[in-house]
Structure 1
Amino acid sequence: MGESWVEPLVSMALSAVGTVASGALSGAGGEMGRRTSERLCGLLSRARTEDGGAGTGSGDGEQQPTLPVTESEQLAATLRLMEVARRYPEFARDLAEWVREASWLAPRALPAVAHGASRPQMLPPATAVFTDREDVIEWITALLDDADPIPGAPTIAALTGPGGIGKTAVAVRCAYALRERFPDGVLFVDLAGASSGAALPPSDVLARFLERLGVPPAKVPGDEARQRDLYRDCMADRRMMVVLDNAHADAQVIPLLPASPGCLVLVTSRQRLGRLVAEHGAHPRILRPLSTADSVLLLRRVAGSERAAAPDAVVQAVARAAGGVPLALCTTGAGLAVREHLPWERVARQLSERIHGQGGDAVPSGSIDDPSGSADPVRHAQDVSYGELTPECAAFYRALAVWAWPTVTVMCAAQAADVKEDQARVLLEQLARVHLLEEVGEERYRFHDLARAHARELAMAEDGHGRMSAGVRRVAVAHLRCAAEADFRVMPLRWRLGAAYRGLVLPEDRDPADGKHALAELRRERENLAAVIRAADHHGFDDLVWQLCEAMWGLHLLLGFHAQWIDTHLLGVEAARRCAAEFGDRRAVGRMLVQLAFGYMGAGRADDAEEALAQAVGADEACGHHRGQASAVEALGLLHLKRWRYAEAQQCFEEAREILGRIRERDDGWEDLPRATALLEHHIGRAQTKQRHFEAALTRLNDALVRFRTLPDGRDAYNEGRVYMSLGELHLEAGDADLARVSLDKAVKAMETAGAGLQLADVFESRARCHRVSDRPAQAAEDLRTAAVHYEENGDRTGAERIRAELAEPEA
């Protein structure tokens, strides 16, 4: 094979090594991803042999390669593979085949022109009372018309100004006015940038955007760099608008910029985004207050035509008092709209008293934009609206502001204010009518951050820390209860510690799709749950912090969101440690560390994961929690297995099995013991297979099979199928394709019984390999066609495409 054939493989091989290594740690790609990783291990081992035993991949002189995790390790591994490929044609062919197979694991962008391509329309509703700002639309239109497209550079418009000046309303109005120019869709996100603590991390936003662009959640990379690369792939050659509202800083925005000249990016922020302008060519524009004439027009629109006409001079006085700030004008107008007997003159007088510090009920206040509070029209308008609330509604308003919840649900509001949900619904609607809350979805509301700051300041003055803290605890307890119930429905077989899981049972007539519905419920509340964890941590409710983290296990394990996973679980670890020092559940420390470790794995941080698991082992050993210690040692073994450290993995699994043997009746984990032991036997057999200890592995796998068949609560068809799949791999690696096929025949029946569609597809794909080895091309093709059908039926479009491409190869 000539040099010209090999050279194009270099960049493709480097990309494939990175994709496979990342997927091996996170579990992305399922069984196909695992096999592709193990094939890479085999290629690197062959490269070492061909090179006369020199070290590979890890760069540390080990005789066996380890998974190349860092960029430098991946580059070294790729260069070693290419060096050997240049000298050995057969190795080059095998490498090219592996690269082709691995390329299917990379998350694939769906072009806008493709059939079924996603064209998201994520804009929130525009306000019906929008006034003025037509000059901003004209300005952005001129930017688009006059722009000389630069490859890789979108048009960026940055709207800045103080809180309440109407930046969001302007951006949304402009987006609706211009969206016909962007046929591939509109992405929108509120970056929650009023403070650095509340601001959304780019990784969370990228994950959300990628899903709306057609990337399945399971295919979204765990680390921000790969998310950003995939996002730009998805946006390439598209004509889309991206609205990034309420940015805190340049660093929050820059990773979200597409690299397509056909895109428009609208950014709003209270801050001047200097890097965005200097380095990315953003066009800045500062929004100013409305003129008095436009302020009067907006006031009259919001107040409504049903009100009796008022003298122009009085309305102008109200408009001037609102300072031309749209939020103040809307708040004032909404109060007039819902109180038809409230005279304009009274509102003008109240605002004047606030401005000039008159009236015994004036509330000293400041704002983010004017700390002195002496000329804050938004605060003055809010003070007036608050003064018109009933005592019950005023207390409710204050209670909602105990924390910066991303959205306020009926449940959250009821718990925060300690009222019934029916009452909370009525009060939420009252606050929305006077513009102190905004309805953003069905029974879902949001504060403008200035309104929340106003309500929180009142709460601190009138209710005190004790009542506010009690409200946070009620909200946290309610969210924990709901999250634990949903998590239990998602993964009912997992052992748990938290008291919130006690007594939970599944109904006998459970809907087969109930787990998916529960996962969707958790996903809808994901950002609120993270906020609840931070609020509980801030108020010192350590017992709730770690239990909330435990209740988000199914959500994070199945859907990712690794930045949030790691951030919340770091809080969970520290909360569990404080609990352990204060007579709390000492077992929680190990539990939190294990869950944190899996978050690190998903983000590609293997060393951090290993350190967390080592700490978990020590924590569980120190408190004598055998079930937790075994689980932590098992997880460490699984990490070693993913990193190709097969002997270390086997040692961990055997140690975990020995620890399980210390559990006695009535000890924690006793009921889970038979299934846990069966899983470990399976793990040991897999590790032995990878070390080519086939006879010992066969014994272990057969033992695991018997154990799964004889579980006290009934046989586990799914895990029986998994063991049969491992037996198939063992026999195939040992060179006996016929015995492999017999095992895979049984795996087919087991997965059909378990209803595991994706795993069934993988079994048929594995059996096709047996047929090819045995020179049965017709049977291999038939199994591949069946596998493609199962992938398609179970939502894995990429898997189906990969199989069909493989079927088409002999004809090419």
Structure 2
Amino acid sequence: MEPLLSMVISAVGTVASSAMSGAGGEMGRRTSERLYGLLSRTRSEDGEAGAGCATDGHPPTLPGTEPEQTAAARRLMEAARRSPEFAREVAEWVREASWLAPRAVPAVAQGASRPQMLPPATAAFTDREHVLAAITALLDEEDRPPSASTVVALIGPGGMGKTAAAVQCAYELRDRFPDGVLFADLKGASAGTALAPSDVLARFLERLGVPPTMVPGDEARQRDLYRDCTADRRLIVVLDNAHDDAQVVPLLPASPGSLVLVTSRHRPGRLVAEYGARPLPLGPLSTADSVRLLRRIAGNERSAAPDEVVRAVAEGTGGIPLAVCTTGAGLAVREHLGWERVARQLSERIHGRGREGEVMPNARPDTSNAPVDPVRRAQDVSYRELTPECAAFYRALAVWAWPTVTVLCAAQAAGVGEGEARELLEQLARVHLLEEVEEERYRFHDLGRAHARELAIAEDGHGRMATAVRRVAVAYLRFAADADFRVLPLRWRLGPAYTGRVLPESSDPADRKRALAELRRERENLAAVIRAADHHGFDDLVWQLCEAMWGLHLMLGFHAQWIETHLLGVEAARRRAAEFGDPRAVGRMLVQLAFGYMGVGRPDDAEAALAGAVAADGDCGHHRGRASAVEALGLLRLKQWRYAEAQDCFEEAREVLRRIREGEDGWRDVPRAEALLEHHIGRAQARQRHFSAALAGLNGALVKFRELSGGGDSYNEARVYMSLGETHLDAGDADLARVCLDKAVEAMNAAGAGLQLADAAELRSRCHRLGDRPAEEAADLRTAEKCYEDHEDPAGLERVRARLAELGA
């Protein structure tokens, strides 16, 4: 295949994918629409048509499959050979499309990211020198395969110190890997808690320098981009607590100079057979090393104890590092706890009674005759020493497998104030029953969570545990609804969590950014809260939590989680509707699910969800919801280049809105919703080259936005000015386009909408280019450059700098 044709095929594939997922933002949309225009003209260039191109009486269709993309590219090439002007336009379009492809950031690039994601190493690390020696020997092997990463799997039971060993080895070896260290806790203690590879890939890609807006939505393309990003880097990748090989394989870097450290309780089969992984089993510490670690953790301030007593404590821990650390931490912080007492407690089978038969505080019921494993014995010893209040707090934290335990989560789970929760969290961390992973953010070892949960079931019962889950879910719903309201204050929303919220008098872009960061920080916990609420049958909270995460997913993606949680939201809303709940929620959840499907390029699933939403809202007579669903279907049609159908959808949605009477649900939102639909209709008409109708409709939308109560909607006014500018450009009137884009730039600047300002300035620079005004073009490009710098958008920055270089500016 000739190189030029390959470039065009690649460009068509990139643009078609971006069209569905929305990747590339407004630039991606415009590039898709330019491809539509070029393909529309191929028939008139040679009198024939092909796949993806105009056919008799029908416009082009979006080339979604590889054969369709190849056919469309060939049509462009054939038409370009017949027309030098068309060839110039195709070449310009291919160059424009190249900026949409998710771009790997080479390790040698200026400002390239050198991620350092390792958690802090423990100061009490003991032994395991053989692990470092074995890994070093593998790296130094002369006959090591030259084309593959070195993969080492540290395997062993829970509590054996696999994570600590992997982290310590990574610190020791990181000077040999100058391009950074990636780390992820895969949470693979069970299939239910294990992270999806897509979630980890998105996090890794961003740390490797890929802008969040350029991270693909589907796992396959994320994996391809990850391989591009890692191909020339020398990295350490630590994949901690893997559930199985399938979770690990997509995260292997495509670099022969990299080292992958995997920790797991399970022996890797596929990793060994297909990727040459070397398993390194970890066993218990020797008694001598256990004694050394115990003394190190307990501290020199501890009163001296006979060697035989310390040795008895060490033997009671079984040499399991987690048990040693838990026991040593208890001795370090509890002056009244003597070595002899700990040795006695560890040596006995725990039946809930001490040697003399006295009832022990916080004793764990045990009615079996099975021996208790060393980790559990150590946890029981620490648990017995807790105050009743702290013991109840410990149990409450384990009512669900939260990814991390925040102060908010802990306070609500235990039903205490946040001040008290902070103190109790610190107490549990001091005795090694919790680990602080960030400031005021903690986690259990999964064996610790199992211990606390078993106690919670025995002492508190499922009813109190469910009540704790509901308190956490309500608190997180309150938090998420507040943050979502700050991110997208004007959007239509559903649910009592938003009742009584008042729009701010002025828009604060900085606060919107902070709110989005807050949602992102709690993303995994929010998903866990949804799963917990679903498990306990709190359907009213499940769908409302999904509604409150709309701003997070719309702005940042995370499509695997989006789809997973909203599938639960759909079913929860349906169950509630059958039990006299809010029937409007069904359509709302289906619409949001559809957008998640669009983001991963699943238009058929999106269309099915939207059809279900239209039917559900029709059944319950919810005009506002039905209008939203039909509008969303129109937006899907826009992405698919089905512009006439999109216009029909928007006009139908407008008719549905007009059925809403004063005082009915959605009445206050109708004026803004109608203005948005007028804007959509104008865009659809412009793509059909009905320029007069499009311009009239867009000007009508402008008036509607200005007339909205509360001083209008200046941001959407600016968006309409952008569409007017584009329409004038497509109609061949660059001067009128510039007048409209002047207004757009002014409005975006006033609104503090940095990335949208960059987009407006870039589009206006095109007007100057067409008018042969290089100085004005360069000025607009510099404005865009500054915005992209401020918002850390390297793709946009690279694009405008390339054009500035062409201008010699």
TM-score when normalising by structure 2: 0.95
Gaps in structure 2 of 5+ consecutive residues: none
Q: Aligned-residue CA RMSD in angstroms?
A: 2.3
Q: 1:300 aligns with which of 287, 291, 295?
A: 295
In the alignment, does 2:191 pair up with 1:196?
yes
Three-state SS of the structure 2 residue aligned to 1:268 is strand
- The question of 1:660 aligning with 2:654 is answered no
- Aligned residue in 2 for 1:617: 614
Q: CA deviation at 1:605?
A: 1.2
User: What CA deviation, in whole Å up to 9, does each residue of 1:224-260 have, x standing for no partner?
Assistant: 1111121122222212111100000111111111111
Q: Which moved more, 1:794-803 or 1:216-225?
A: 794-803
For the residues of structure 2 that align with 1:112 and 1:528, how far apart are their CA atoms? 32
Name the counterpart of 2:410: 413
Number of matched residues? 803
779 and 411 in structure 1: CA distance in 2 versus 1, 3 angstrom threshold: closer
* Conserved 8 A contact 1:55-1:62: no
Equivalent-residue separation in structure 2 for 1:418 and 1:576 (angstroms)? 28
For residues 175-254 of structure 1, what are the structure 2 equivalents within 5 Å? 175-254=170-249
Instruction: State which drifts further: 771-780 or 332-341.
Output: 771-780
Sort the Cα spacing of 1:692 and 1:533 in 2 relative to 1 into closer, same or farther, 3 A.
Answer: same
Match of 1:638 among 635, 638, 649: 635
Alignment CA distance shift 1:62-1:583 (3 Å): farther
Q: 2:736 aligns with which of 720, 724, 739?
A: 739
- The separation in 1 between residues aligned to 2:444 and 2:370, in whole angstroms, is 20
Give, in angstroms, the shift of residue 508 of structure 1: 4.1
Moved more, 350-359 or 520-529: 350-359
Cα separation, 1, equivalents of 2:277 and 2:465: 42
Correspondence 1:554 to 2:554? no
Contact 1:290 1:326 in 2 (8 A): yes
Q: C-alpha separation between the residues in 1 aligned to 2:142 and 2:206? A: 30
Aligned residue runs from structure 1 range 82-121, under 5 A: 82=77, 84-85=79-80, 90-121=85-116
1:17 deviates by 2.3
Aligned equivalents of 2:522 and 2:137: distance in 1? 40
Comparing 800-809 with 519-528, greater Cα deviation is found at 800-809
After superposition, what is the alpha-carbon deviation per residue over 1:306-329, rounded to whole angstroms, capped at 9, x for unaligned? Answer: 222222222222222211110111
Q: Closer, same or farther in 2 for the Cα pair 1:391/1:38, shift >3 Å?
A: same
CA contact (8 A) 2:51 2:68 kept: no
* 1:726-768 CA distance string (max 9 Å, x none): 1222222222222222222332333233332322322232233
Residue type of the alignment partner of 2:42: A
Name 1:288's counterpart in structure 2.
283
1:687 paired with 2:677, answer: no
Match of 2:138 among 112, 137, 143: 143
Could you list the per-position Cα deviations for residues 257-290 of structure 1 after superposition, in whole angstroms to 9, with x for gaps in the alignment?
1111121111100011111111111111100111
Letter in 1 for 2:293: L
Paired with 2:807 and 2:507, the residues of 1 have a C-alpha distance of 46
Q: Is the CA contact 2:352–2:366 (under 8 Å) kept in the aligned structure 1?
A: no
Q: Which residue of 1 aligns with 2:330?
A: 335
Number of the residue aligned with 1:32: 27
**Partners in 2 of 1:658 and 1:634 — Cα distance?**
11
* Structure 1 residue aligned with 2:624: 627
Residue 355 of structure 1 and its aligned partner are, at CA, apart by: 6.8
The residue that corresponds to 1:751 in the other structure is: 748
- For the 8 Å contact 1:44–1:56, the answer to whether it is kept is no
Distance 1:8 1:365, change over 3 A: farther
Q: Helix, strand or coil for the counterpart of 1:354? A: coil
CA distance in 2, matches of 1:312, 1:564: 53
**For each residue in 1:117-138, what CA deviation from the matched residue of structure 2 results, as whole angstroms up to 9, or x when unmatched?**
2111111111111110011111
Deviation at 1:363, TM superposition (A): 4.5
Structure 1: any 5+ residue segments left out of the alignment? 1-5
2:20 is the alignment partner of 1:18: no
CA positional deviation for 1:471? 0.2
2:64 to 66, 69, 74: 69
Quickly say closer, same or farther: Cα 1:288–1:355, change in 2 above 3 A.
farther
Aligned counterparts, 1:460-499, within 5 A: 460-499=457-496
Match of 1:381 in 2: 378
Q: Which moved more, 1:748-757 or 1:170-179?
A: 748-757
- For the residues of structure 2 that align with 1:92 and 1:223, how far apart are their CA atoms? 33
Q: C-alpha distance in 2, partners of 1:71/1:542? A: 42
**Alpha-carbon distance in 2 for matches of 1:456, 1:357:** 17
Go from structure 1 to structure 2 and tell me whether the alpha carbon gap of 1:776 and 1:603 turns closer, same or farther (over 3 Å shift): same
Counterpart residue number, 2:159? 164
> Residue 667 of structure 2 corresponds to which residue in structure 1?
670
Q: Distance in 1 between matches of 2:369 and 2:73?
A: 61
Compared CA separation, residues 440 and 782, structure 1 to 2 (3 A)? closer
Matches within 5 A, 1:423-442: 423-442=420-439
Aligned pair in 2 of structure 1 residues 639, 106: CA closer, same or farther (>3 Å)? same
Q: Do structure 1's residue 539 and structure 2's residue 536 form an aligned pair?
A: yes
Quick one: structure 1 residues 151 and 7, their matched pair in 2 at CA, closer, same or farther if it must change by over 3 Å?
A: farther
In the alignment, what sits opposite 2:525?
Answer: 528
**Contact kept? 1:649, 1:687, Cα under 8 Å:** yes
Rounded to whole Å, the distance in 2 between the matches of 1:147 and 1:96 is 48
Query: Which aligned pairs between 1:33-52 and structure 2 lie closer than 5 A?
Result: 33-50=28-45, 52=47
- The aligned runs of 1:575-590 (5 Å cut-off) are 575-590=572-587
Of the three residues 719, 723, 747, the one matched with 1:726 is: 723
1:647 positional shift: 0.4
Cα distance in 2 for partners of 1:218, 1:352 equals: 57
Query: In the aligned structure 1, how far is the partner of 2:804 from the partner of 2:337?
Result: 75
Q: What do the CA deviations read for 1:168-200 (whole angstroms, capped 9, x no partner)?
A: 010011111111111211111100000011001
Q: What residue number does 1:596 align with?
A: 593
- Note if contact 2:50-2:75 (Cα within 8 Å) is conserved in structure 1: no
Residue 263 to residue 365, structure 1, CA distance change in 2 (3 Å): farther
Give the Cα separation in 2 of the matches to 1:182 and 1:372: 51
Question: 1:3 — aligned with what?
Answer: none
Separation in 1, partners of 2:401, 2:688: 53
Distance 2:480 2:264 in 1: 33
Check if 1:324 corresponds to 2:319: yes
Structure 1 residues 13 and 89 mapped into 2: Cα distance closer, same or farther (>3 Å)?
Answer: same
| AA in 2 matched with 1:784 | L
Cα distance 1:373–1:11, how it changes in 2: closer, same or farther (>3 A)? farther
Whether the 8 Å contact between 2:407 and 2:422 is mirrored in structure 1 is yes
| Structure-2 change in CA distance of 1:682 and 1:802 (3 Å) | same
Task: State the distance in 2 between where 1:639 and 1:654 align.
Answer: 15
Tell me the alpha carbon deviations over residues 145-176 of structure 1, each in whole angstroms, 9 at most, x when there is no partner. 22546454111111000000000010011111
- 1:421 is aligned with what amino acid? E
**Matched letter for residue 304 of structure 1:** G
CA separation in 1, counterparts of 2:629 and 2:284? 59
Task: Measure how far apart 1:457 and its partner are.
Answer: 0.8
The 1:335/1:735 distance shift into structure 2, 3 A limit, reads same
Please give the secondary structure, in 2, of the residue aligned with 1:267. strand
Partner SS, residue 348 of structure 2: helix
Q: What's the CA shift for 1:116?
A: 1.7
Query: Which aligned pairs between 1:54-65 and structure 2 lie closer than 5 A?
Result: 54-57=49-52, 63-65=58-60
Matched, 1:154 2:163: no
Q: CA deviation at 1:298?
A: 1.2
**Matching of residue 803 in structure 1 with residue 807 in structure 2:** no
Note the C-alpha offset of 1:545: 0.4
Q: Structure 1 465/793 Cα, relative in aligned 2: closer, same or farther at 3 Å?
A: closer
Cα separation, 1, equivalents of 2:626 and 2:146: 55
> In 2, distance between residues paired with 1:147 and 1:411?
53
How far apart are 1:711 and its partner, in Å?
A: 1.2
Contact 2:50–2:71 (CA under 8 A) maintained in structure 1:
no
* Displacement of 1:639: 0.8
